[in-house]
Amino acid sequence: MVRLTVNGKAHDIDVEPNTPLLWAIRENVGLTGTKYGCGVAQCGACTVHVDGVATRSCSFPVSAAVGKQITTIEGLAQSGALHRVQRAWIEHEVPQCGYCQSGMIMAVAELLKNKPKPTDADIDNTITNICRCGTFQQVRAAIHAAAAQA
């Protein structure tokens, strides 16, 4: 048994310690907003926050997450209010198919926490998630819009 704290709630789950955090979140905790895209930390669809740090959970063993605060896309909204990144995403209609956007939003939420007013270069250097629909033009506009709301 492994105890994980996800979105503020403790879960005792029966997995091998080397199971990727992604699959423990999806299959054992049962939260499927965090996506599988590559399994090798390339695409970023599986991004969650581990103690506030954006982490590609497909390549992060569940054993390393024990005792840490894990936040997934389902836990980003606070007391019923969407996070400003989520609001900006809706306003700018960022998603196309939407599959990569949970990870994209989690990566951007961390960027804005560290750099409240990111430049385009900050965005380029930090946001390396893959989106096959090609939503990047809207992603950039929405990041700046979310930053302006801070």
Partner 1 sequence: MNFVPKMNRRSFVIGSAAAGGGLAIGFDLPFGPKEAAAQTAAPELGVWVVIKPDDTVVIRMARSEMGQGTITGLAQLVAEELECDWSKVTYEYPTPGQNLARKRVWQSYSTGGSRGIRESHEYVRQGGASARMMLLQAAANEWKVSVEQCSAANSVITGPDGKRTTFGKVADAASKLPVPEKPKLKDPKDWKIAGKPIKRFGTEDKVTGKQVYGFDLKLPGMLNASIKESPVFGGKVKSFDAAKVSGMKGVKKVLQVGDTAVAVVADSWWQANTALEALPIVWDEGPNAKVSNATIAETLKAGLDAEQAFVGNQNGDIKAALTSAAKKVEAVYGYPYQNHVCMEPMNATARYTADKCEVWVPTQDGEASFAAVLAASGLPADKCEVYKLDLGGGFGRRGAFQDYVRQAVLIAKEMPGTPIKLLWSREEDMAQGRYHPVMQCKLVGAFDKDNNLTGLHMRLSGQSILASVRPQVLEQEKGRDPLAFQGVFQTGEHAFGYTVPNLLIDHAMRNPHVPPGFWRGVNINQNCIFLECFMDELALAAGQDALEFRRKLLGKHPRNLGVLNAVAERIGWGKPAPQGVHRGLAHMKAFNAYVAAAAEVSVTGNKVKVHRIVAATDPTYAVNPAQIDRQVAGSFVYGLSALFYQECTVKDGRMVELNFDTYNSMRIAQMPKVESIIMPAGGSGPWGGVGEPTICVAAPAVLNAYAAATGKRIRSFPLKNHNIELA
| Residues in touch with partner 1 (CB under 8 A) | 15-16, 19-20, 23, 26-28, 30-40, 42-43, 45, 72-74, 76-77, 82, 86, 89-90, 93-102, 105, 123-125, 127-140
Pick the closer one to partner 1 by CB: 115 or 132. 132
Closest approach of partner 1 to the CB of residue 138, in Å: 7
Residue 131's closest CA among 122, 142, 139, 119?
Answer: 139
CB 38 to partner 1: min, Å: 5
- Cα–Cα distance for residue pair 140/146, rounded to 1 Å: 10
For residue 31 the two structure tokens come to: 């939260």
Q: Are 31 and 11 in contact (CB under 8 A)?
A: no
- For partner 1, give the closer residue by CB, 117 or 125: 125
Nearer to partner 1, 68 or 133 (CB): 133
Residue 21 to residues 26, 29, 93, 128, Cα–Cα distance (Å): 9, 10, 29, 20
